[in-house]
Structure 1
Amino acid sequence: VSVKITLAGFQPIFTMSAQQKQLQTVTEDQFMKFKRIFSDSDAAMEWLESYFPEDLIIADLKGSSNSLWTISPPSRDTLIEMLKSKEEFPISVSWTVQRNFSLGAKAETASGKNVKALDEATKR
């Protein structure tokens, strides 16, 4: 499991990966509690019905990044100007999950990305 956070196309400000030791299996009780969270959404429940507790893993991602964010002085100035402007400022969170890592190239991989614009209050 890998997670990356990026501001407006700059180098990632946060990267984190969880390896085998940080991956926990889910009990039947935990799975049922998880499903109850989405019980008000018919679409979510329909999707979840085809899964079992063994299909869900809890990844323990620590709050500190695996990498140091370096930004050049010109890029820093550009970032500050972008934050001061009224233009949209995107933040993206992307993730990759690899299932059955022991299969190497044949391992199943799922990934996604969610991009949101920071509101003006957050930009300040």
Structure 2
Amino acid sequence: MEQLTLTTPALLFSAISLIMLAYTNRFLAYASVIRSLHDKFLKEKDDVLLRQIQNLKQRLYLTKWMQIFGITSLLFCVLTMFLIYIDYHTIAIWAFGLGLVLLLISLALLIKEIQISTQALQHHIADIEEHLKGGK
């Protein structure tokens, strides 16, 4: 096996930082939409709005866990660098491996969240298409 150096876990810093920025942007977008739907729901009490809020709740939950696993992955990369620095190479290899697994989990949750988002948008498209068919 090749020797793990300080630069190996450091390479993930920029990737994880960009991923976390994307996750944060998703989170902020959901928060804005949820607040807007909340206000609409209080006025209209529409079941469609309630389903949209439930969908966003599920996506927000996934985004939270995506962020937690991503941040924990970054922490394990930092821990790996520290362990390499103090010459605990075997533990560093395990810490780095765990960090990679956590990053994989975070990305897998992103795939699930994207699938849910796509399904929600497909429902909106179907509603529009149904409305257009009824209008003809």
- TM interval, shorter chain, is under 0.3
- With normalisation by structure 2, the TM-score equals 0.23
- With normalisation by structure 1, the TM-score equals 0.24
Query: Per residue, is there more strand in 1 or in 2?
Result: 1
